[in-house]
Amino acid sequence: MFNILEVVLESSMSCMAPVYVLIAVGLIFAVACAYFLVLLPEIGSKHGGNTELFHTCVGVCILFNVIFNYFACVFTSPGTTTEMDLEVLHSKMQASWRFCKKCNRPKPDLAHHCSICRKCVLKMDHHCPWVGNCVGFRNYRYFFLFLMYLVFGCAYAAILMALNTDTFLNHHHRLLWFRMFTMVLAAAACIAVGGLFAWHCFLVLSGQGTIDFYDNCESFIAARRQGKEYSNPYNMGPVRNWKATFDVDGRYWWILWMLPSLRRKKGLGLLPMSVEDGQRVTMQKHRKNVLDMV
């Protein structure tokens, strides 16, 4: 019975993906319309054209990045084993890799089978119904930046709306309910998505994904029971983790990571990030050694 319900739920999530995307886009544009068509004209009449122009430029910049990263995350494949040539997978295969009976292919470290997408996703973080896609190796950057700009945009809009509430109330306009609704919506989205964004900041800085975090917790607890210590072998330090996640380097990496880009992420997503100087360190082998102690 449980298996049947699970299959029905997974199938419904897959079929409802376009609906979730349309709802997300609709909510984003509701806040954008209130900001550009209602709020900014009133700010201009109250504070002058230069102030209105400044807030318009900021709003356009944030909205562009929100839309760009959202649709890039929706339409960019996270990277799956089924997209790769089977010979390449076998040539790169390590002793720590598992085998997926559903995909009938080797499963690299950090890859997980998504029951909704029905594929093994490379460096899978999670399946997000709001983008109708898995978040993994090739589109995690877009997902993170979408969260970041959405939080900034909602906070910026909500603060401006709150500071100009007197203007709203002094004008008996038919769209008063729409203004108040979008202000509450922006504030609520800022709080809710802000918590998720803070969580992913922690994950990026610590060199792990959502699924890996729970696996690491299990390994950490198992090691503690044996009086030993466990550390994430993929954690290269906050700065190097950040650079690897956003695929940036060089002198201006601290600016480049947040800029929109359609450049394909480097690498195949098969080997761990801590592969250096020809020495491979795999998380699965490390976990197995720890769990064997129990």
Q: Is 209 left (phi over 0), alpha (psi -120 to 50) or beta?
A: beta
Mean pLDDT of 84-88: 84
pLDDT at 6 over 70: no
Question: What pTM did the predictor assign?
Answer: 0.87
Rg, the chain, Cα only: 23
Q: Exposed, middle or buried: residue 211 (CB in 10 Å: 0-12, 13-18, 19+)?
A: middle
Whose CA is closest to 58, among 181, 176, 164, 159?
A: 159
Cα dist from 139 to 135, 175, 202, 247, 263, whole Å: 6, 38, 18, 12, 11
Q: Write down the pLDDT at residue 284.
A: 46
Is the pLDDT confidence value at 273 over 60? no
Q: What pLDDT, on a 0 to 100 scale, did the predictor assign at position 136?
A: 94
Q: Please tell me the predicted confidence (pLDDT) of residue 174.
A: 60
Summarize pLDDT for 140-160 with one digit per residue, the tens: 999 999 999 999 999 999 998
Q: What is the pLDDT of residue 292?
A: 43
Could you tell me what percent of the chain has a pLDDT over 90? 47
Q: What is the DSSP string of 141-174?
A: HHHHHHHHHHHHHHHHHHHHHHHTHHHHHHS--T
Report the percentage of the chain scoring pLDDT > 70: 84
Q: Are 59 and 40 in contact (CB under 8 A)?
A: yes
Please give the pLDDT value at position 277.
Answer: 34
| Residue 173 pLDDT | 60
Q: What is the mean pLDDT of residues 185-201?
A: 94
**Which two three-digit tokens encode residue 187?**
């504030």
Neighbours of 252 (CB within 10 A): 10
Residues 6+ apart with CB under 8 A from 89: 81, 105, 106, 108, 270
Q: What is the pLDDT of residue 130?
A: 92
Whether the predicted pLDDT of 235 surpasses 50: yes
Q: Judge whether residue 1 has pLDDT over 90.
A: no
Q: What is the rounded CA–CA span in Å between residue 140 and residue 123?
A: 9
Residues belonging to the active site: 128
pLDDT value for 147: 97
- Give me the pLDDT at residue 293, please: 38
Residue 68: partners with Cβ closer than 8 Å, 6 or more residues away: 260
